[in-house]
Amino acid sequence: MHLDSKLPRVGTTIFTVMSRLAEQHRALNLGQGFPDFEPPPAFAEALQRHVRDGKNQYAPMAGVPRLRQQLAHKLSRDYGAPLDPESYITVTDGATEGLFDTITAVVRSGDEVIVFDPCYDSYEPAVLLQGGRVLHLPLNPEFGIDWQRLASALSPRTRLIILNFPHNPSGAVLSPEDLETLARIVRDTRAFLLSDEVYEHIVYDGREHQSLLRHPELRERSFVVGSFGKTYHATGWKVGWVVAPPQLTTELRKVHQFVTFSTSTAAQHAFADVLEQQPGLVHELPGFYQQRRDRFRQLLAGSHFRLLPVAGTYFQLADYSALSSEPDLEYTRRLVVEAGVATIPVSPFCETPPAQRLLRFCFAKSDSTLEHAAARLCELRPA
Ligand code: PMP
Ligand code: GLN
């Protein structure tokens, strides 16, 4: 029997496609964003202990209370946001579920949702499934928001604006002035904000992450999504959260309870232990990745790639136009097959192909992976 697709233009995500290709060709995988090193051993021990201690049945729907308390504490410490864990915080199966739940709770048929290209791939399908329309606005050449353009694009139909800073794939970050400008622009609209902040702790050169939670006015209309995956080198554990004001949280939970109901109990307890016992761990992260960023950039200095600046995340964008005039999908496939290095093309993040020839490297990899990959990349010569 034939099923008419609800997402006819959607295929398998580029991250899965490139990881599969990397496996097939035994390439070094600098594509999909995950570390190739382990989380601290204490994490696995905590998880095992909680399994042994009987944390094996459903968690409370909104999340394990001690984890939500720890999250409230962390968010108030980092962003000065006083949040009642009971009414503001919901634990989800990774940020992906939090994003889907939020979009499902907010968007109705005919509503317009604004995203900024290049844009993470999970937003648009979720909007389309709700019958919403996606308006893609290009980020400016430095990957910041073009405020003028946003102001002109807003209309009474705009129901949601989705932001993602630190930004995947460019690593761009927001400034305190950006928060003020955003607040001014949305003040008299009916637009909610969905802020995907999964890279909140990966910001460089002494910058501070500008969470929307810092801004009391923005906080009132925002769903802020976070994840433990990136912060603790544990992308496979799939534990994330959504912070939103009480009435928005009530609506979000109506969706969450029927998408997953609740998230792995033992994993939630393990993360609660980490937050409780090692609250300072997150502050080591910028230094840890900044060293990798700098090392990777240094290793590629002798290549024909032009490296763009990276202010946050563990991604490095590179312009390959000195090496090839092929479109990015073809060039990145050829890199896997011929150079043995998997990367991510940028065009799947964009509605219209980007003007530059860009690909994305993930540098959340061991020194040896980065060195071997860079050696191969430095050997590439213009076609
Ligand atoms: N948003 C962005 C911008 C991401 O890069 C990712 C994953 N890499 C996610 C959301 C998904 O996070 P999670 O693995 O916690 O579902
Ligand atoms: N967010 C990760 C990335 O950007 C991938 C996650 C996934 O494969 N869905 O590489």
CA-to-CA distance for 147 and 136, rounded, in angstroms?
Answer: 14
- Predicted local confidence at residue 326, as pLDDT: 95
Query: In testing the pocket of ligand 1, which one of 96, 194, 239 has its CB within 8 Å of the most ligand atoms?
Result: 96
Q: Is the CB of 168 under 6 A from ligand 1?
A: yes
Residues 258 and 334 in one domain: no
Whether pTM exceeds 0.75:
yes
Tokens of 335: 């890199």
Cβ 257 under 6 angstroms from ligand 2: no
383 domain residue, yes or no: no
- pLDDT at position 222: 98
Instruction: Give the CATH number, domain containing residue 236.
Output: 3.40.640.10
Query: According to DSSP H, which parts of the chain are helical?
Result: 14-24, 41-52, 65-79, 85-88, 94-106, 123-129, 147-153, 176-186, 216-219, 228-231, 246-259, 265-277, 285-299, 328-334, 367-378
**Closest C-alpha to ligand 2, atom 1:** 33
Domain final residue, candidates 230, 257, 281? 281
Q: Mean pLDDT by 10-residue block, N- to C-terminus, for the chain (383 residues)?
A: 96 95 97 95 94 98 98 96 96 98 98 98 98 98 97 98 98 98 97 98 97 98 97 97 98 98 98 95 96 98 97 98 96 96 97 92 97 98 88
Amino acid (1-letter code) at residue 125: P
Whether 9 is covered by a domain: the verdict is no
Same domain, 289 and 274: no
For residue 138, give the amino acid letter. P
Inter-residue contact 163 to 115 (CB < 8 Å) = no
CA 35 to chain centre: 14
Same domain for 175 and 224, yes or no, is yes
CA separation for the pair 45, 357 (Å, rounded) = 44
Asked whether 357 and 364 are in contact (CB, 8 A), the reply is no
Whether 35 and 46 map to the same domain: the answer is no
**What is the number of structural domains in the chain?**
2
- The reply to whether 209 and 296 lie within a common domain is no
Q: Considering 238, 265, 281, which residue would you say is the last residue of a domain?
A: 281
Asked whether residue 185 falls in the same domain as residue 311, the answer is no
In a domain, residue 1? The reply is: no
Question: What span, in angstroms and rounded, lies between the C-alpha atoms of 327 and 325?
Answer: 7
CATH of the domain at 348: 3.90.1150.10
Residues 73 and 196 reside in one and the same domain: yes
Give yes or no: residues 274 and 291 share one domain: no
Sheet bearing 192-196, strands edge to edge: 89-92, 240-243, 222-227, 192-196, 158-163, 112-117, 133-138
Task: Provide the pLDDT for residue 353.
Answer: 85
| Distance in angstroms between the alpha carbons of the first and the last residue of the chain | 48
| 15 pocket-lining for ligand 2 (C-beta < 6 Å) | yes
pLDDT attached to residue 187: 97
172 shares its domain with 306:
no
Nearest to 233 by CA among 195, 201, 258: 201
Could you tell me if 129 and 30 lie in one domain? Answer: no
Return the best residue to mutate from 32, 174, 230 for the ligand 1 pocket (most ligand atoms within 8 A of CB). Answer: 230
Helix (H) / strand (E) containing 189: none
Residues 70, 218: one domain?
Answer: yes
In a domain, 4, yes or no: no
Is 243 within a domain? yes
Of 224, 251, 281, the last residue of a domain is: 281
CB atoms closer than 10 angstroms to residue 139: 18
Q: What's the domain range around 303?
A: 14-39+284-378
The residue behind tokens 């606005």 is: 137
Same domain, 228 and 297: no
| C-alpha distance from residue 120 to each of 55, 69, 142, 179, 356 (Å) | 34, 29, 17, 21, 18
